[in-house]
């Protein structure tokens, strides 16, 4: 019987069935022969605000499907992505490595992308017998060798670019990046009415066209709630009384369409008896954007910044057959998803894999270690870099002449709003953290492309200590 009866009014207390899923991190042992390896469902929202889910405190956006998963799973309070913009974040997510190590430091424009043969989660799981499926936004390169089906995925339905209309494009031919394709064959715009619903339908179809015994890795990468701001009319109307502001109402409707689709995907798994055997991970690719009426709650900054609002994201994991429902406060990274998924799949040697910068979270979630997953995390994109060490975070900005501006040092425990710069009182800590950042940078390569002077100027402006308040933040893309 499923531990969670999806859609039921009462959630049963999850059972810990570790004997059925024996994948201890240090041993890299395979799952018990009594049960097959788990499916892995990785769901990514696009530009979702930190406070725009019920399980992260939203009071106006409805996310009942995600809230049920969070209630029966693990809700992370200190989870981060490796970049605060779309493409670099996804490059780190799908490789388990700091993307700067292979030159994917900057966001994509008309050039760049994953290197040929990069070890992705899809390639690693596919080599062990998983069916690998990508649905939705790719945004990791347009060149033929960068196509999802050349990067480890057996099936791809979606768009190669970063965003597009949620409604059919009928007045012109969609661009190469905006065109919807299915296994390299263009999908007629008349085949769907609303993109988010279409992507959910495709995910359900791919889950259903395989034998239950065949484990899958499904990367469900929604474009929602990235701009353009297009609401499904019925959902927009459903918020008419609750949210007077039309921009915020449109955004809430986009998030609700995604949540509704996630609920249908989970229902499909439950109907096939596969929900208990599926490791579900949900997160946003970065913080809420300045252009989509999102809400990053208590965190300073928005998409593109090294403040917490740029890279601290909603993050949950659901696999009640393997660990209890809980709130996890340890510092966590999207880089941890790949090693965790590989360990869950029974891939040997994950803990010893020096190529991975993330860690297997299963021992932390099972309570077999009290140590936080990470002592330090690092970020760098063009002219702005940061290092997190425990409660402390340092931000370093490169000026136009190549010199470094005075670093900003904040303590997230004592001043979570990041408005109090403690660098002047912590000279030794500043020196130590700058040294840690410089040592990490020695492991990186030069960016394989740049974003241009305009975006570098925006980076500098976002990190000025005097750029305070959400309205000021929204003025900078």
- How many other CB atoms are there within 10 angstroms of residue 291's CB atom? 16
CA dihedral 464, 467, 468, 469 (to 10 degrees): -130
Which residue is listed with tokens 């990470």?
374
The whole-angstrom separation of Cα 335 and Cα 15 is 27
Q: What is the pLDDT of residues 28-68, one digit of tens each?
A: 333 333 458 999 999 999 999 999 999 999 999 999 999 99
Global pTM?
0.93
- How many other CB atoms are there within 10 angstroms of residue 362's CB atom? 25
The whole-angstrom separation of Cα 195 and Cα 193 is 7
- Give every CB contact of residue 318 below 8 A, 6+ residues apart in sequence: 69, 70, 72, 73, 74, 279, 280, 281, 282
Q: What is the pLDDT of residues 95-128, one digit of tens each?
A: 999 999 999 999 997 779 999 889 999 999 999 9
Q: In this structure, what token pair is assigned to residue 91? A: 């490059």
The pairing of beta strand 326-328 with beta strand 315-318: unpaired
Residue 135, classified by CB atoms within 10 Å of its CB into exposed (0-12), middle (13-18) or buried (19+), is: buried
Domain boundaries, the chain: 18-365, 376-474
The whole-angstrom separation of Cα 316 and Cα 327 is 9
Catalytic positions are: 86, 139
CATH topology of domain 376-474: Arylsulfatase, C-terminal domain (3.30.1120)
- Give every CB contact of residue 357 below 8 A, 6+ residues apart in sequence: 96, 97, 98, 101, 333, 335
Q: Which residues of the chain have pLDDT under 50?
A: 1-5, 7-34
Count of H-run helices and E-run strands, the chain = 12, 16
Is-contact 373 364, C-beta < 8 A? Answer: yes
In sequence order, the β-bridge partners of residue 45 are 284
- How many other CB atoms are there within 10 angstroms of residue 9's CB atom? 5
Reading phi first (left if > 0) and then psi (alpha if -120 to 50, else beta), residue 297 is in: left
The whole-angstrom separation of Cα 294 and Cα 50 is 8
Q: What is the pLDDT of residues 383-404, one digit of tens each?
A: 999 999 999 999 999 999 999 9
The whole-angstrom separation of Cα 365 and Cα 167 is 40
Domain 18-365 classification at class level: alpha beta
Model pLDDT, residue 32: 35
Query: DSSP for 304-360?
Result: TSSSHHHHB--EEEE-TTTS--EEE-S-EEGGGHHHHHHHHTT-TTSTT-TT--S--
Query: DSSP for 414-438?
Result: T-TT-----GGG-HHHHHHHHHHHH
Q: In this structure, what token pair is assigned to residue 302? A: 């928005």
Model pLDDT, residue 36: 82
- Give every CB contact of residue 291 below 8 A, 6+ residues apart in sequence: 227, 229, 477
Q: What is the pLDDT of residues 172-206, one digit of tens each?
A: 999 999 999 999 999 999 999 999 999 999 999 99
Model pLDDT, residue 6: 52
């Amino acid at each position: 019987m499923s531990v969670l009866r999806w859609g039921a009014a009462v959630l049963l207390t999850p059972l810990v069935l570790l004997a059925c899923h024996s994948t201890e991190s240090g041993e890299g042992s395979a799952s018990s022969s009594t049960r097959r390896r788990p499916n892995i469902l990785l769901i990514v929202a696009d530009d979702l605000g930190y406070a725009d889910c019920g399980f992260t405190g939203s009071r106006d956006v409805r996310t009942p499907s995600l809230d049920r998963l969070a209630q029966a799973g693990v809700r992370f309070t200190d989870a981060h992505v490796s970049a605060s913009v779309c493409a670099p974040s996804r490059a780190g997510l799908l490789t388990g490595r700091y993307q700067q190590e292979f030159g994917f430091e900057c966001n994509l424009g008309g050039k760049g992308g994953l290197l040929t043969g990069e070890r992705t989660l899809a390639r690693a799981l596919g080599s062990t017998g998983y069916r690998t499926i990508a649905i939705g936004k790719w945004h990791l390169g347009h060149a033929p060798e960068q196509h999802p089906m050349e990067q480890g995925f057996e099936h791809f339905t979606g768009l190669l670019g970063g965003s597009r209309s949620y409604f059919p494009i009928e007045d012109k031919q969609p661009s190469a990046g905006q065109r919807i394709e299915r296994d390299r064959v263009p999908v007629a715009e008349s085949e769907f009415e609303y993109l988010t619903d279409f992507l959910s339908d495709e995910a359900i179809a791919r889950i259903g066209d395989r034998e239950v015994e065949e484990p899958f890795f499904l990367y469900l990468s929604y474009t929602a709630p990235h701009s353009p701001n297009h609401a499904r009319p019925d959902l927009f109307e459903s918020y008419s009384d609750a949210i007077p502001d039309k921009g915020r109402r449109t955004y809430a409707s986009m998030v609700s369409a995604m949540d509704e689709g996630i609920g249908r995907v989970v229902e499909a798994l439950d109907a096939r008896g596969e929900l208990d055997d599926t490791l579900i991970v949900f997160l946003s690719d970065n913080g809420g954007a300045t252009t989509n009426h999102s809400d990053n709650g208590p965190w300073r900054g928005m998409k593109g910044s090294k403040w917490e609002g740029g890279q601290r994201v909603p993050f949950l994991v659901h696999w009640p057959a393997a660990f209890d429902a809980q709130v996890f406060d340890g510092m966590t990274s999207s880089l941890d998803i790949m090693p965790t998924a590989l360990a869950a799949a029974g891939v040997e040697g994950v803990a010893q894999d020096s190529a991975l910068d993330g860690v297997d979270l299963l021992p932390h979630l099972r309570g077999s270690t009290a140590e936080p997953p990470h002592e330090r995390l690092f970020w760098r994109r063009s002219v702005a870099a940061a290092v997190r060490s425990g409660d402390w975070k340092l931000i370093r900005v490169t000026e136009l002449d190549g010199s470094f501006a005075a670093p900003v040092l904040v303590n997230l425990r004592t001043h979570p709003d990041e408005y109090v710069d403690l660098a002047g009182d912590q000279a030794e800590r500043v020196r130590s953290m700058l040294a840690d950042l410089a040592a990490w940078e020695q492991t990186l390569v030069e960016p394989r492309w740049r974003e241009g002077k305009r975006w570098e100027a925006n980076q500098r402006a976002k990190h000025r200590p005097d750029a305070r308040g959400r309205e000021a933040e929204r003025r900078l893309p």
